[in-house]
Structure 1
Amino acid sequence: MGKLERHATIADVAALAGVSVGTASKALNGRGSLREETRMRVREAARQLSFEANAGARSLHSGRTYTVGMITTDTIGRFSIPVLMGAEDALGAGEMSVFLCDGRDDPIREQYYVKTLLSRRVDGMIVTGRRTEARAPIGANLPVPVVYAFISSADPGDCSVVPDEAGGARKAVEHLLAVGRTRIAHITGPEHHNSARVRAAAATERLAEDGLSLVAPPLFGGWSEVWGRQAVGILLAGRTEFDAVFCGSDQIARGVCDALRAAGRRVPQDVALIGFDNWDVMTEACQPPLTSIDLDLEGLGRSAAQMLLAAINGSPSPGRHAHPCRLVVRESTVRESTTVPLP
């Protein structure tokens, strides 16, 4: 009868990496203030030895389950899936598992999931959704930390990580100014929608800093291509002179581009066009490809997860944290031979 194979222990990993057992444990569990080189050396030693940490033993030792709950109201997944991917990137480094729950905008269903996650003794929760306006807290005096991602909590004492939509709108206007456009129109979504109001206000304020204003009051409508086409018709019927259009979403921009082409206006030669969200389905289908503001949802998810890990380890970050957006330049604002400084 053959000898039973001996499984590698944390002590074996520490010896191979040339560190103490405590340091090896911290490196594998994502805890402590260690140099990245040390963490990588320990993880490589663990890989060579095929070492697998015993989750049950870790849980008994630390009082943690190394699991996080994520509750979303975004049934389509347009926003929550990138946030989830970013969160998993950050949590995976600490070998955390994620339970994803779809609340479907139903408060009763949502509370059921809160109770279920707590019964599973999750170490913390991330709450996300498709709207950017503040929502009611998911619970009061919960026994685990909660971080709101993309959406924010109405309680200023909660930790919320949200896209800097005002900063993104400013970047859009600054880019149009950089390519020499000064007669800018703004077409966006419903006025009751928080994102539409924030983006329109920021665009107006940024133009005012240069002594400029929009060529017409912001055109509020729907988040659709149909509205984009209708809004161009309104501008043209009013004989409004414009050399650029900043759109509150990529869907609107796609409709605007179609309407401009039908009216004999060339993009970007006659009218520079920029969208918001950097949704590849729209930006790549647009002709020419659409310049847009990217919300960096995966980066936002990583930031939210890192803040949750810090809170789990005793260092919460209460308040509203704005995650920067970024400008992605394509041919709808800049001809291929043109070089433009990025804001």
Structure 2
Amino acid sequence: MNTSRSSLKDVAARAGVSTATASKALNGRSDVSEATRRKVHAAAQDLDFVPNELARSIAVRQTGTLGLLTHDLEGRFSLPILMGAEDAAGAGQMSVFLCDSRGDAIREQHHLKALASRRIDGLIVVGGDTDPRKSLGRNLGIPIVYAYAPSTDESDMSVIPDNYQGGRDVTTHLLATGRSKIAHITGVDYYSAAQDRAQGVADVLDAQGLSLVGSKVFFGEWSEQWGRTAAHALVDKHPEVDAIIAGSDMIARGVLDALRERGVDVPGKVAVTGYDNWQPLIAGARPSLTSVDMNFELVGRRAAEKLMGAIAGTVEPGIERLRSTLVQRGSTEIKF
């Protein structure tokens, strides 16, 4: 075994080929025969040759690095998305630079310049919420994939949870448990996710000739207090309600508190569902809360896969919606 630092020239000499041919073989070029490739790789192994990664990246015009720009690193949505993206990037032998703009436009521009200076091969932009965000355009000169929050430009690549289908799935589940007097308590009405989920709920009910209890969605805040207040008002006016779809786990916790305070059995009298499958809230719910998991790690993984595909030349423009998973627990059990 050679303990000195070997060069590409040494590898070429050991293999009996030119330096150019040795370089092509080590970089996986197709214009080298398999026999020559094996001979060069064997020589490189014998010499413990360590290729100059910078020189190789210049040759193939890639650095093997991706950028991840998030707007809310501490948020419960960003971290699992970033974990999924990093898993996929690692599987593709890509390194990752992570930046958090904290929702600040100036900080975002600073991070974009810093990432560009590192000559990243591509960028994943993770939104702070599900509302569409302004496209970064084409000035960076690299592929970009938007995760969680889609780009407003349809020619960009975006990966998001399918909130409409999530609304459909939870409603279908409640109907299957025998519920038919279903109410919907959710967050702010201008939030795209809330609107998409509400449409999914309404479409399933309409197909069954049913409508929401109260004939409307109860829009409010993304808080336990709103869930508690809305549930009290709902039961006062519509004691016949037998299921409540909450737009988030936080709202669902407030709903469960209100029903417990009124002595309403869950799920015997009223079934309750949440959305997000956020473990800190799920863990403390009594009874255990049925909730919709938006599969954030899968969103991140798929975003990274699309990005690496684009780097390789396969661009998939448009919005890709990934189906969520309904996790059934005690709050929607059928009572016999």
Q: Aligned partners of 1:300 and 1:125: how far apart in 2?
A: 15
Partners of 1:276 and 1:292 within 8 A in 2: yes
Q: Aligned partners of 2:311 and 2:141: how far apart in 1?
A: 11
How far has the Cα of 1:65 moved from its partner?
Answer: 0.6
CA-based RMSD of the aligned residues comes to 2.4
How far has the Cα of 1:129 moved from its partner?
Answer: 2.1
141 and 81 in structure 1: CA distance in 2 versus 1, 3 angstrom threshold: same
How far has the Cα of 1:75 moved from its partner?
Answer: 4.1
The reply on whether 1:283 has 2:282 as its aligned counterpart is yes
Q: Aligned partners of 1:304 and 1:255: how far apart in 2?
A: 34
The reply on whether 1:88 has 2:92 as its aligned counterpart is no
Please, which moves more after superposition, 50-59 or 131-140? Answer: 50-59
Aligned to 2:262: 263
Q: Aligned partners of 2:2 and 2:24: how far apart in 1?
A: 30
Partners of 2:224 and 2:250 within 8 A in 1: yes
Q: Aligned partners of 1:294 and 1:52: how far apart in 2?
A: 45
Size of the aligned set, in residue pairs, is 302
Q: In the alignment, residue 202 of structure 2 is paired with which amino acid? A: T
330 and 120 in structure 1: CA distance in 2 versus 1, 3 angstrom threshold: same
230 and 64 in structure 1: CA distance in 2 versus 1, 3 angstrom threshold: same
Structure 2 spans left out of the alignment, 5+ residues: 12-22, 29-47
SS of equivalent to 1:303: helix
Partners of 1:249 and 1:277 within 8 A in 2: yes
Partners of 1:149 and 1:304 within 8 A in 2: yes
How far has the Cα of 1:90 moved from its partner?
Answer: 0.6
Q: In the alignment, residue 185 of structure 1 is paired with which amino acid? A: A
Aligned to 1:225: 224
Partners of 2:227 and 2:254 within 8 A in 1: yes
Q: Aligned partners of 1:302 and 1:252: how far apart in 2?
A: 28
SS of equivalent to 2:67: strand
Aligned to 2:186: 188
**What is the TM-score of this pair, normalised by structure 2?**
0.84
Aligned to 1:99: 97
Partners of 2:103 and 2:128 within 8 A in 1: no
The reply on whether 1:122 has 2:120 as its aligned counterpart is yes
Aligned to 2:59: 61
152 and 262 in structure 1: CA distance in 2 versus 1, 3 angstrom threshold: same
Which of the two has higher C-alpha Rg? 2
Partners of 2:226 and 2:251 within 8 A in 1: yes
- After TM superposition, the runs of 4+ consecutive aligned structure 1 residues lying more than 6 A away are 21-26, 50-53
132 and 58 in structure 1: CA distance in 2 versus 1, 3 angstrom threshold: same
How far has the Cα of 1:334 moved from its partner?
Answer: 1.4
Q: Aligned partners of 2:258 and 2:26: how far apart in 1?
A: 61
Please, which moves more after superposition, 293-302 or 209-218? Answer: 209-218
Aligned to 2:37: none
Counterpart pick for 1:136 among 125, 130, 134: 134
Q: Aligned partners of 1:163 and 1:207: how far apart in 2?
A: 22
237 and 316 in structure 1: CA distance in 2 versus 1, 3 angstrom threshold: same
119 and 211 in structure 1: CA distance in 2 versus 1, 3 angstrom threshold: same
Aligned to 2:308: 309
178 and 124 in structure 1: CA distance in 2 versus 1, 3 angstrom threshold: same
How far has the Cα of 1:168 moved from its partner?
Answer: 0.7
Q: Aligned partners of 2:25 and 2:145: how far apart in 1?
A: 29
77 and 57 in structure 1: CA distance in 2 versus 1, 3 angstrom threshold: farther
How far has the Cα of 1:60 moved from its partner?
Answer: 3.1
Partners of 1:161 and 1:304 within 8 A in 2: yes
The reply on whether 1:203 has 2:201 as its aligned counterpart is yes
Aligned to 2:330: 331
Give % identity.
47
**What is the TM-score of this pair, normalised by structure 1?**
0.82
SS of equivalent to 2:331: coil
Deviations 1:270-318 (A, max 9, x none): 1111110100111111001100000000001000000000000011111
Deviations 1:83-139 (A, max 9, x none): 110001111011111111111222121111111111110000000122101111124
Q: In the alignment, residue 261 of structure 1 is paired with which amino acid? A: R
Counterpart pick for 1:74 among 72, 75, 94: 72
168 and 23 in structure 1: CA distance in 2 versus 1, 3 angstrom threshold: farther
Deviations 1:173-204 (A, max 9, x none): 01001111111000000112111111112111
Q: Aligned partners of 2:24 and 2:162: how far apart in 1?
A: 40
Structure 1 spans left out of the alignment, 5+ residues: 12-20, 27-49, 339-343
How far has the Cα of 1:4 moved from its partner?
Answer: 2.5
Deviations 1:32-67 (A, max 9, x none): xxxxxxxxxxxxxxxxxx998763354133211111
Q: In the alignment, residue 68 of structure 1 is paired with which amino acid? A: L
Q: Aligned partners of 2:51 and 2:286: how far apart in 1?
A: 52
Partners of 1:215 and 1:240 within 8 A in 2: no
